[in-house]
Structure formats: structure tokens, C-alpha cells
Amino acid sequence: MVYAIEFEPQALKELSAIDRPAQRLIREKILLLGENYAALKNNITQLKGQKDPMFRLRVADYRVIFSKDDARITILIVRVRHRREVYER
């Protein structure tokens, strides 16, 4: 199943602030996430304490926080930050 990828405006802003080599790697993983979700299953973890199911994709030192809607076949990217910053509230 191929998922459509959507970005929150804040996630696009955060992604553009990351250095170019890391951006390239993150974009590749996000595309792979949409094309073949099962291939990245080892790098995906469901976040605890959320009222709506949210997931984390690990890409080197960065984390991509997203939600998945199987009914609409869509993945919504919510945050893209360095691992030390992404979980701050």
C-alpha cells in the first residue's frame, strides 16, 4: 500500500532548517515511508501518552514524528527535529 505524504507547515519549516546532507537523508526516508511502510518497521515506534496514535521514525540523529491514517491512506508529518529537541513540550 502506498501512502500519500502530507506535511504540517511547522514540519516543513523545521526540515528546511536542517543541513543539506541530513535533509537529503530525511527526505529519502520519508519517501520510503510512503512507498514501503513495512521496510522501515524496525525504525518506527508508536509514541506513548498521545490521545491520537503518533509514531516516530528514526533517521540518524533526527526524528520524524508523524500520524498515519489507514482509511485515507495518508501519513501526516508533524515534526522533524534533532533527537535532543523533538520531544520537548
Q: Is position 89 within any domain?
A: no
The predicted model gives 8-20 an average pLDDT of 96
CA atoms of 68 and 4, how far apart (whole Å): 10
Condensed to tens digits (0 to 9), the pLDDT of residues 29-44 reads 999 999 988 888 888 9
SS3 29: helix
Q: Is position 88 within any domain?
A: no
pLDDT of residue 41: 84
pLDDT of residue 51: 76
Q: Is position 71 within any domain?
A: yes
CA atoms of 41 and 33, how far apart (whole Å): 9
Q: Is position 38 within any domain?
A: yes
Q: Is position 87 within any domain?
A: no
Predicted TM-score (pTM) of the model is 0.90
Q: Is 90 exceeded by the pLDDT of residue 17?
A: yes
| Residue 62's CATH number | 3.30.2310.20
How many domains does the chain contain in total?
1
Full residue range of the structural domain in which residue 30 is found: 4-82
- Percent of the chain exceeding pLDDT 70 equals 98
